[in-house]
């Protein structure tokens, strides 16, 4: 029950349209697929490159690489799963987690995906340069291509494959960054809508007086609901009766001389 003179807005009305509700589900499913693809591509590539780096005596820490590139997609997938579970629990309302939570986490997610896109693209560029260097050495006919050499055609294939897979991973993270950015913007819009709806949650009932002789003025949000009183000019004030002795009036004395 609302306060007297006020009415509550319909709390069951969803703040998200059906179109955007479906679009968010599609975006989150797409994000999960991108995350799974990035994880499935990064882990075996990092482990394979770790073996090659050890053989070539290169300084490479696969654990750090996997943690940096796999951690954010895992968190995104976990968050999307929690959102889907919330939507299933709150059946019929198209209401998931509070958009304020999405604003905070989606901001972190799309920034992390953007940074990883830049880092992985840089790694792909370096891997491509290494592959070009090995190809140049092998094509030059140097003794480095002998059987007892450290660098051979197998290394060229490894670095070329590593460069290609890294470019694909960078593209996946770029799409992931765009997807999370769209979800971030939508979360900001829904947060603004929810804040406006909260301010309008309890609207005053506008009451006007239409009685004859009374002013018709709408009530403000802080006025009590009730009939408006008539303006002062409509009140019938009792006027005092003044008795004047005509015989004492100066004009009477002047006229009486004649």
In a domain? residue 79: yes
In a domain? residue 36: yes
In a domain? residue 219: no
In a domain? residue 56: yes
The 3-class SS string of the chain reads CCCCCEEECCCCCCCCCHHHHHHHHHHHHHHHHHHHHHHHHHHHHHHHHHHHHHHCCCCCCHHHHHHHHHHHHHHHHHHHHHHHHHHHHCCCCCCCCCHHHHHHHHHHHHHHHHHHHHHHHHHHHHHHHHHHHHHHHHHCCCHHHCCCCCCCHHHHHHHHHHHHHHHHHHHHHHHHHHHHHHHHHHHHHHHHHHHHHHHCCEEECCCCCCCCCCCCCCCCCCCCCCCCCCCHHHCCCCCCCCCCCHHHCHHHHHHHCC
| pTM reported for the whole predicted model | 0.65
Q: What pLDDT is attached to residue 252?
A: 47
In a domain? residue 200: yes
Number of folded domains that form the chain: 1
- Give the residue-averaged pLDDT of 186-203: 75
| Domain interval for residue 107 | 13-204
In a domain? residue 99: yes
- Give the residue-averaged pLDDT of 156-167: 84
In a domain? residue 217: no
- Give the residue-averaged pLDDT of 163-184: 93
- Give the residue-averaged pLDDT of 147-163: 71
In a domain? residue 41: yes
- Work out the pLDDT band at 148, boundaries 50, 70, 90: very low
- Give the residue-averaged pLDDT of 64-81: 89
Q: What pLDDT is attached to residue 184?
A: 93
Q: What pLDDT is attached to residue 22?
A: 86
């Amino acid at each position: 029950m609302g306060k007297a003179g006020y009415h509550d807005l319909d709390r069951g009305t969803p703040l998200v349209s059906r179109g955007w509700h479906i679009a968010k589900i599609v975006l989150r499913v797409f994000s999960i697929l991108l995350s799974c693809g990035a994880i499935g591509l990064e882990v075996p590539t990092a482990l394979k490159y770790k073996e090659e780096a050890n053989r070539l005596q290169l300084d490479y820490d696969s654990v750090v690489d996997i943690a940096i590139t796999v951690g954010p997609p895992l968190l995104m997938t976990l968050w999307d799963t929690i959102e889907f579970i919330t939507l299933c629990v709150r059946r019929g309302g198209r209401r998931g987690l509070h958009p304020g939570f999405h604003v905070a986490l989606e901001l972190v997610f799309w920034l992390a995906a953007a940074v990883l896109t830049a880092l992985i693209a840089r790694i792909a560029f370096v891997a491509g340069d290494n592959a070009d260097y090995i190809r140049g050495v092998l094509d030059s006919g140097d003794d480095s291509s002998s059987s007892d050499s450290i660098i051979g055609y197998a290394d060229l294939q490894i670095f070329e494959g590593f460069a290609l897979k890294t470019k694909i991973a960078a593209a996946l993270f770029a799409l992931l960054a765009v997807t999370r950015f769209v979800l971030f913007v939508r979360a900001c819009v829904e947060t603004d809508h929810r804040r406006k709806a909260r301010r309008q949650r309890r609207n005053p009932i506008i009451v006007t007086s239409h009685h004859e002789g009374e002013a018709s003025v709408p009530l403000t949000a802080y006025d009590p609901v009730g009939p408006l009183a008539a303006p002062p000019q409509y009140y019938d004030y009792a006027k005092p009766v003044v008795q004047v002795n005509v015989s004492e009036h100066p004009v009477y004395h002047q006229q009486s001389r004649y």
